[in-house]
Structure 1
Amino acid sequence: MRKNYKIKKTISVKHFISEFGENFSEHMKERLLDLEVRCVLTRKEEENILDIKHVEHTKYDCPSGKGSKEYAYGEFTVIDGTLYFSEKCLENDDVMQSPITDVIYNSLSSTDMISDENNSLKKVDDSNIDSVIDSILSVCPDVSQRYLDIVKEMTSHSENKLLSTLYTKAYH
């Protein structure tokens, strides 16, 4: 039976873990959650291939000197419940691959590797998840105070609405 729904193009790390993390160890889930505040995951047509980007979509000057683009700090691919880190990320008019992607990819062992004509993937597991996450966090900027204020305000509105709804249902 064909699934007839539109996939979410941008998801949180929590959503990623709930969607794909059934076979991930607790340590891998905890380390992935370290990306939650700073990073968001985006995907195109393939629901299991996700690029790692900053939540504020910060732009950087292109090395070519032509404009600015957002960084993709890497790309996760999940195949049969196993997490992989891709050699290449999505690059287009708005996104360029961060230099950290090559550093991370080259640091991973080649023993658990998958390749096709477009890309190579290396397995991420308990033995290397710390290095992957620490490397991303070493270059991915903290979020701005403005961003934190917006999130706090949105969260407080959600809590107030929930409390109001609960009060209304309980006493009316």
Structure 2
Amino acid sequence: MRKNYKIKKTISVKHFISEFGENFSEHMKERLLDLEVRCVLTRKEEENILDLKHVEHTKYDCPSDNTSKEYVYGEFLAIDGSLYFSEKCIEGDDVMESPITNVIYNSLSSTDMICDEDSNAKKIDDSNIDYVIDTILTVCPEVSQRYLDILEEMTSHSESKLSNTIYTKTYH
């Protein structure tokens, strides 16, 4: 009997690399990890198509409909062990495409592309990963001190639980 597991809709960059990055070069993995603190990846139905958002889900004014929406800084496609950057990102009631997406896509000179009825995507490899990550980091905000404090508190609790577990199992 086959079980259907619900895919995780929001994942970290580390999770993305462990799920799809088996064939990524070490350099690509390192550069993707530069996004780890600031970014999170979200997906809808397709588990290999992920949108890059800020971890704090910062909202910006959307002039087209006078609302506030979260930016999507790019869309990654993981296909057959390769990474692609999409021409378009998901847009909806609470998210809009960052202007940087078109800048990045148009600057990629990759001839290795994926094309379908919805959009096009260009391959990311060692020759252009630095540009992609550096450009995203120029517009994606730093995280707040409050967020960093929460992370630090969470990791210190995890470490103390681990230490207590090791102590309890070793000495009691």
Q: TM-score category by the smaller chain?
A: over 0.9
Matched with 2:58 is 58
Q: Deviations over 1:76-100 (max 9, x none)?
A: 0011011000000010101000000
Matched with 2:32 is 32
Matched with 1:153 is 153
Q: Normalising by structure 1, what TM-score?
A: 0.97
What SS is found at the alignment partner of 2:50?
A: strand
Matched with 1:79 is 79
Which contiguous aligned blocks of 4+ residues in structure 1 show a shift greater than 6 angstroms? none
Aligned partner letter, 1:25? S
What SS is found at the alignment partner of 1:47?
A: coil
For 1:31 and 1:100, the matched residues in 2 are separated by 18
Does residue 67 in structure 1 map to residue 58 in structure 2? no
More divergent stretch after superposition (57-66 vs 27-36): 57-66
For 1:3 and 1:128, the matched residues in 2 are separated by 39
For 1:36 and 1:114, the matched residues in 2 are separated by 26
Cα distance change on mapping 1:105 and 1:2 into 2, 3 Å: farther
The two structures, once aligned, show a CA RMSD in angstroms of 1.2
What SS is found at the alignment partner of 1:56?
A: coil
For 2:5 and 2:143, the matched residues in 1 are separated by 32
Q: 5+ unaligned residues in a row in structure 1: which ranges?
A: none
For 2:157 and 2:111, the matched residues in 1 are separated by 49
1:6 Cα deviation from its structure 2 partner: 0.8
* Number of aligned positions between the proteins: 172
For 2:155 and 2:26, the matched residues in 1 are separated by 27
Q: Normalising by structure 2, what TM-score?
A: 0.97
Matched with 2:114 is 114
1:101 Cα deviation from its structure 2 partner: 0.2
For 1:29 and 1:171, the matched residues in 2 are separated by 39
For 1:42 and 1:154, the matched residues in 2 are separated by 22
Identity %: 83
1:63 Cα deviation from its structure 2 partner: 2.0
What SS is found at the alignment partner of 1:69?
A: strand
Aligned partner letter, 1:165? T
What SS is found at the alignment partner of 1:137?
A: helix
Cα distance change on mapping 1:170 and 1:39 into 2, 3 Å: same
Matched with 2:45 is 45
Q: Deviations over 1:51-79 (max 9, x none)?
A: 00000000000022511000000000011
